[in-house]
Amino acid sequence: MERCTGPRPDPAPPPTPTARTGSRRRTPGQPGQEQQRRSGNVVTARAAATFDPDGRSAAAARGFVRDALLGWGLPEVVDDAVVLVSELVTNAVVHAGTAAEVCCLREEQSVRIEVTDHHPERGLPSLGHGPVNASDRYADPDGEGGRGLLMCSALSERWGVEYAAGRKTVWFRLALPAQVLGTRYAVPATPGSDLPSGPGPVHVAVVQLDEDGRVLAWNPDAEALFQYPATSVLGRPWADLAVWPQSPARGLGLTDTLRMARWEGGYGVRRQDGREVEVYGVQVRLRDTEGVPSTLCLLVLEPDRAVLRSPARALPGERPDPAGPRLDLLAGPVATDDLDTLLQRTVERARDLLDGDAAYLLLTTDDEAEFEVRAATGLTAGHRRHARFPVGTGNRYDSARLPSVHEDLSARPTGLPLLSDSGMRSLVTVPLKVEGRLIGSLGIAAAVPGRYDNEDALRLQFAADRVALAVESTRLTELEQLRRGSLSFLVEASDLLAGTLEHEQTLALMAQMAVPTLASWCAVYTTADHASTARLAFVLHEDEDRIDPLRDLLDKTPAPEAGPTHGGVRFWTAPTETAEAGGLVDSPELAGLLGETVVLALTARNRVIGLLVLGVPAGVRFRQEILELAEDLSRRAALALDNSRLYSERTATSQALQRSLLPPDLPEIPGVEVDVYYQAAGEGNEVGGDFYDLFTIREGTYGFAIGDVCGTGPEAASVTGLARHSLRLLAREGLDAPQVLRRLNAAILDEGARSRFLTLLYGELTPRPDGSTELSLVCAGHPLPLRLRTDGQVDRAATPQPLLGVMDDLDLTAEHLVLAPGEVLLCVTDGVTERREGPRMLGDDGLAEVLTGCTGLTAGAVAARVQRAVERFAPEPPSDDMAILTLRVPTQRQV
């Protein structure tokens, strides 16, 4: 049910709700944008805002309504509307304790304003004037509550109250006066609330403070305004009386503000009765004849601020702002994640708005100890982007946290490297702060002295306060993107470095990851030990044509010292010095090549194993984020480089030892062709469990062997070495084949737990004068040798006997055969016969079939054909060691 109270009720539908934003949000409409019917009136414009339940909302609502009505060209109703809205919003946020929604509706002949709160259960009193309870009275003119509705009744054309679920709306309508044809209503330059008001004279308090902020002087108007006699405040700290706003947008604290040359603005002062009054003040910094500084404060009540307020001074083409001089540095669309574009547009607009010749913007490093040049205009000859210098460098007040004005830089230089030899004479700088934390500095410079004053500094500070939050937000976005990119880069780098153990390839990967992501060129030095001089191992430049000139220069430059093992970045100037000494800096090959150069130690396992050198072109400096990323990369690269070095050393050692297990070369046997194919399984292995040998026993007699030790790798290779060397030694002692193998069996068993069983084919061959060759064989558990006759027939050349390394007593016998000219003896290990593809196996029969087709081939051709047959039997590479030994007696014509 709807209930309206008031002398001229006018029912209307409930207001359109607006979204709660937690702060003032203005959505002004334009005439003709919204056409809807409200009580028979056409709404031509609408503005709405929501205000939080705090003490500042009434003032914010007044400003919102004033701006809306003046924007619609309705100054004649501003004063009444502001008074009514102030009372109704106060009722909502103070008495009802809820947020207040204010909606202004521009109608054809009137203005309707609605104020909504969310406590409809707080009923409205009646209008009765009889002797009723205080809670039933409409309003007590002398009381604190209810005056908003009384004012609505007195000032508005119509008003009313509307109830809905969970909300209550008080509305009023103000009629617009008829306009005379040919006249215009001018908006006053200063809003009415800014003009002095109130009965009696305007009091101007004069308060003088010493260097420590204590009261030196207190005039009678100060006594009248603040109710303190002079005797009770002289010598007291001004901070005890002044209630200084602590909002992030304000930026400066009271102590810093008192040290400024001139400042004006509003704050609060605590009266003797404990109540706080809002004042508007002008503070001027003074020095007496002896040079002792003090601050003079002129104060009036906030409604009388026009007495002291400086008039707005507009720049060419800029409209005066009735609320005071303003600069907008955020004009134009800028991508929120594009920090460089935002900063560059900011300095260019700041330079133009203050009619400067140059501008720059500095951002602090993470520890706020240094400024970094991030954007500049008009200083192309004197500035380097990303250059750094201490925060305290060259400030008029020895503090980068205060606005400052430099009237003549030739008389008093700032000491900023940025402005050296720039030709600038005057400068104004302001800090960029977010929540009281210094994030940067903005400076505008001009080529003539005296261009800027304190008012320019305050205007620029206001603009800087607005842009600081956007800069910090964008910088945090950029840092987050950089961190994510850095993590992705490091993950990819780790994967690539972990994917290889080859030393040279690791060096190349390190350089390729650094260029061009971190630097324009990179050099990697390696060192054998801590005391040795680093050696240039790899050089890479993003421009391939510059790699050779850069390498030549680095070859002429003494290598950087290895330095400590704790890491860190060191700057290195030796390449530039070498180029300058040789007159090569301006040569076509090196022009613009050498800028800032840094060295990072490659430290692994508490030892410097190399150096990573990164360089950028002339005029460019490394950003701190890049250097930190380079340190992370150097740590990962150092470990990968050390792993590759250890792997290469281990592989080289292993291969050298393994090569010692193979015969150095095969002896020439008159009347016999010999060929061998050998392949060890396992990466980096040259010798495994399979082995072969061919050696001279005595003149005219030769020994040959092919065997297979159980397993692969170094353990099997150790038994291989024992077997090969024992065979040679025992055979040359004059023992026959069975005796040699029995002695070898005993030697293997003597190894104990390290012993492994061994299959072995051992034989002795003696060429005969008729061109044939006599052989004596023992096949101890080994695949049987195959004999290829000249007619293509293949048969087994021996019978199986017990393998070695299992039993103590072996009964072995020698088998004899004679190879006629043209015949072949093929000896293989089980890596050939047990070659598999799924359930299929090559086997003895498959090998015999391959050998059948080798009639008339040389020993080398037979070995090659067998090897190809094994490779092609299955698509997967062989997983077992493989050895092939072929002996062939050539025909008389071939001999």
Instruction: List, as one string, the DSSP characters of 32-95.
Output: TS---EETTEEEEEEEEEEE-SSTTHHHHHHHHHHHHHHHTT-GGGHHHHHHHHHHHHHIIIII
Strands of 720-792, DSSP E = 758-767, 773-780, 786-788
Does this model's pTM top 0.75?
A: no
**pLDDT value, residue 77:** 83
Smallest CA-to-CA distance from 888 within 784, 789, 793, 794 is with 789
Once rounded to an integer, what is the mean pLDDT over residues 516-522? Answer: 88
Give me the percent of the chain exceeding a pLDDT of 90.
24
Report the distance separating Cα 550 and Cα 569, nearest Å.
21
Once rounded to an integer, what is the mean pLDDT over residues 753-780? Answer: 90
Helices (H), 131-276: 147-155, 220-226, 230-233, 254-258
Give me the percent of the chain exceeding a pLDDT of 70.
79
Report the distance separating Cα 35 and Cα 4, nearest Å.
26
**pLDDT value, residue 382:** 47
Residue 553 Cα distances to 536, 538, 543, 558, 582, angstroms: 11, 13, 16, 10, 10
- More confident: 879 or 30: 879
**pLDDT value, residue 398:** 41
**pLDDT value, residue 567:** 59
Place 47 in a pLDDT band, splitting at 50, 70 and 90. Answer: confident
Segment 275-307, tens digit of pLDDT: 999 898 888 888 877 878 899 999 998 888 878
Report the distance separating Cα 860 and Cα 881, nearest Å.
19
Residue with tokens 């005056």, as numbered in its chain = 147
**pLDDT value, residue 437:** 83
Residues in the chain: 895
**pLDDT value, residue 384:** 60
Place 385 in a pLDDT band, splitting at 50, 70 and 90. Answer: low
In this structure, of 182-191, 415-424, 483-492, 870-879, the range with the lowest mean pLDDT score is 182-191
Place 474 in a pLDDT band, splitting at 50, 70 and 90. Answer: confident
What 3-state DSSP class applies to 521?
strand
Most confident of 155-159, 367-371, 480-484, 867-871: 867-871
**pLDDT value, residue 450:** 86
521, β-bridge pairs: 541, 615
Whether residue 193 has pLDDT greater than 60 = no
Report the distance separating Cα 189 and Cα 195, nearest Å.
11
Number of H helices, E strands in the chain: 17, 35
**pLDDT value, residue 614:** 92
**pLDDT value, residue 326:** 55
Once rounded to an integer, what is the mean pLDDT over residues 105-114? Answer: 90
**pLDDT value, residue 892:** 66
**pLDDT value, residue 368:** 74
What 3-state DSSP class applies to 373?
strand
Beta carbons within 8 Å of 353's beta carbon, 6+ residues apart:
315, 318, 327, 328, 329, 463
Once rounded to an integer, what is the mean pLDDT over residues 161-180? Answer: 81
856: left (phi over 0), alpha (psi -120 to 50) or beta: left
- More confident: 106 or 413: 106
**pLDDT value, residue 701:** 94
